[in-house]
Amino acid sequence: MRRFLFLALVSFASLGAAETPASPEAKLAALGLALPVTNPPIANYVPAVRTGNLVFLSGHLPYDAEGKVIAGKVGKDIDEKTANAAARTTALALLASLKKEIGDLSKVKRIVKVSGFVNGTDAFTAQPAVINGCSDLLVAVFGDRGKHARAALGLASLPRGAVVEIEMIVEVQ
């Protein structure tokens, strides 16, 4: 009877450990990713505004490892795969600003809305595939809490020639 009870307790403890979700930061680390340093705004606005349990994140641009804006027009200077990677990089910048605003990404209840803008040629129509770089990362980090409503729009140009600009609305605890 003791052996059965011991095995049952070990199994129960293992089950609980398996169900404990990893923190968003741990998930990022497991993906080999880290949050970048937040950049100050380049105009008269703030990166994030919290009202009640919602955080509105201003449009963020993708920056490379040297701190330069990843610029170009999809379908001319940059291919879809590179633009998708830039959207993923932008998602990291959004999460860095979110963490700075709320202190801990574990406070995220839900990613509510993502609006992605893609600098593309008139003929480029795969904006959703580009913004998937952001969306896929959010779901990888937050699971079902990362699934969101979304817009993916093509524009003739973006600030500083950036390939993408992405803004986000997040519900927090």
- Asked if 36 and 96 count as a contact pair (C-beta separation under 8 A), the reply is yes
Q: Which residues sit opposite 154 in a β-bridge?
A: 118
- Asked if 147 and 139 count as a contact pair (C-beta separation under 8 A), the reply is yes
Q: Count of CB atoms within 10 A of residue 17's CB?
A: 8
Q: Where are the beta strands (DSSP E) in 13-107?
A: 48-51, 54-60
Q: Count of CB atoms within 10 A of residue 12's CB?
A: 10
Write the CATH number of the domain with boundaries 23-172: 3.30.1330.40
Distance of CA 108 to the CA centre of its chain: 12
The β-bridge relationship of strands 149-155 and 48-51 is unpaired
Residue 89 CB burial class (10 angstroms; 0-12, 13-18, ≥19): buried
pLDDT reported for residue 16: 45
- Residues contacting 27, CB < 8 A, separation 6+: 140, 141
pLDDT digit string (tens) for 98-132?
Answer: 999 999 999 999 999 999 999 999 999 999 999 99
What is this structure's pTM?
Answer: 0.87
pLDDT digit string (tens) for 46-91?
Answer: 999 999 999 999 999 999 999 999 999 999 999 999 999 999 999 9
